[in-house]
Structures are given as C-alpha cells and as structure tokens.
Amino acid sequence: LNSPTPVQPSTLDSLVDQVHAACRDWGFFHVINHGVSPELYHTIKSEAANFFSLPLQEKTKVRRDLDN
C-alpha cells in the first residue's frame, strides 16, 4: 500500500479483511481509482481474454513452477 498519508493499522486490517472476504466469497475483487489508464486496462483485459481462449497445449508453454 503506497499512500502519501500514514495508514492506521486498524484501517489496513479492515482493508485486508475486505479483500480476503472478496476472494473467499466471490473469487476476485476489482480495484478502482488506481491510476491505470482506461486504454491500458482494456488492452490488458483483451490480451488476458486472448490468452485464456487458447488451447491448453498453448497455455502450458508459458507454465511456471517454483524454479522459474
């Protein structure tokens, strides 16, 4: 967390709890007001969709393990 003002531990604890609950209950969370341009966001989203639409054989070519 990079903030120009100090973050209180209780605030950070609450944030961690909220992110954890989102991951546990929904499987994801959406960060807003992060400063990433809409163009870059849409490019990343499109490229991710392209990747996940590939056959498994193609996706496993970029598989990583603990050593790489």
Cα–Cα–Cα angle for 20, 49, 63, nearest 5°?
A: 75
pLDDT at position 6, please?
Answer: 78
Asked if 59 and 51 touch (Cβ cutoff 8 Å), the reply is yes
Q: Which long-range contacts (CB under 8 A, 24 or more apart) does 21-24 make?
A: none
Give Cα 52 distance to the centre of its chain.
Answer: 15
Has this prediction a pTM greater than 0.75? no
Q: What is the pLDDT of residues 6-65, one digit of tens each?
A: 778 888 899 999 999 999 999 988 888 888 999 999 999 999 999 999 999 999 999 998
Please, what is the average pLDDT of the chain? 90
